[in-house]
Amino acid sequence: MPIRVQNDLPAKKILEEENIFIMDERRALSQDIRPLRIAILNLMPLKEDTEVMLMRSLSNTPLQIDITFLTTKSYVGKNTAKSHLDNFYLTFDDVKNKKFDGLIITGAPVEMMEFEEVAYWDELVQIFEWSKTHVTSTLHLCWGAQAGLYYHYGVNKRLLDKKMFGIFYHHVLNRREPLVRGFDDIFLMPHSRHTGIDEEAVRNNDRLKILAVSDEAGIALVMSTDGRHVFMLGHPEYDRVTLDMEYKRDRDKGLPIDLPVNYYKEDNTSIRPDLMWRAHGNTLYTNWLNYYVYQMTPYILEENDNNDK
């Protein structure tokens, strides 16, 4: 899929080296195609790494996508250069009067805090509310999924006894749902989190549908019955070495951390891990774009827009 990004975005070069079709602004303007407009609210500290992983995951359909990266105005992290944010990111104030076909809300390293204690929670609440009228479908990832379930459906999170960390097996439920079309009965997906969700509250909510569970990691994929909200508790977009870097970072800091489950061969950290989850991860993103964004969005986003000023 041609992903349309700014010409000088650093992630563009990395993806082009992987033979992923990235279209710059000049070429996109020469095509008479209405691209899907996808906003990515990137709450991760290492924003450039997340950009690459998400654009790679979105690159597997023939649809043209126009990516808009968003960051929070109420909190500015220290792990991404200000020049990068200034050049390639907008804030909610910049887009609040626009409509998007899809929105992705990433995870964030704030899961040990109560939602209301997060520095940008009030801003995120504004975005959640705005998404109800200005976005066709929203994909929430990891902490973003926990926050979305809490805001939209009142599902609380809970602290785990120890970090859910590694590659876990998942069973597909509700196979008729297009979001899991093409999935095998069992698939692998990375998790990296200290908190989970109130699974009983999810099961008892008739507006939510569970699509994948893990015997070890619990409920992993949930969606609203209308397809407007998708909640992924894991990280299907992770690179081969993402868990490796997280493990060695925490180990070197002296933090309590176990080896990631089902990740290193013979639990040997010097052996390059196998990449075992990307096919299903790519299928998930492709299905979301096709069935819940592309086939549901109006061709002209503004045609039913009575909320913009």
Q: What are phi and psi of 143, to 5 degrees?
A: -60, -35
For residue 37 the two structure tokens come to 């407009």
Tell me whether residue 237 is one of the annotated catalytic residues. yes
Catalytic residue from among 134, 170, 229, 235: 235
Q: 3-state class of 266 per DSSP?
A: helix
pLDDT tens digits, one per residue of 81-138: 889 999 999 999 999 999 999 999 999 999 999 999 999 999 999 999 999 999 999 9
- pLDDT given at position 63: 82
pLDDT tens digits, one per residue of 204-257: 999 999 999 999 999 999 999 999 999 999 999 999 999 999 999 999 999 989
Q: Work out the average pLDDT over 285-309.
A: 74
- pLDDT given at position 307: 44
Tell me whether residue 84 is one of the annotated catalytic residues. no
Closest CA to 300 of 28, 95, 34: 34
**Cβ atoms of residues 209 and 222 within 8 Å:** yes
Q: How many residues does the chain have?
A: 309
CA distance 183 to 193: 24
DSSP letter (8 states) at residue 197: E
CA distance 223 to 107: 17
Q: Is the pLDDT of residue 23 over 80?
A: no
Q: Is the pLDDT of residue 59 over 60?
A: yes
Q: Work out the average pLDDT over 45-63.
A: 88
CA distance 242 to 88: 23
Closest CA to 183 of 288, 283, 59: 283
Catalytic residue from among 51, 142, 177, 191: 142
* Residue that the structure tokens 């503004």 belong to: 302
Tell me whether residue 111 is one of the annotated catalytic residues. no
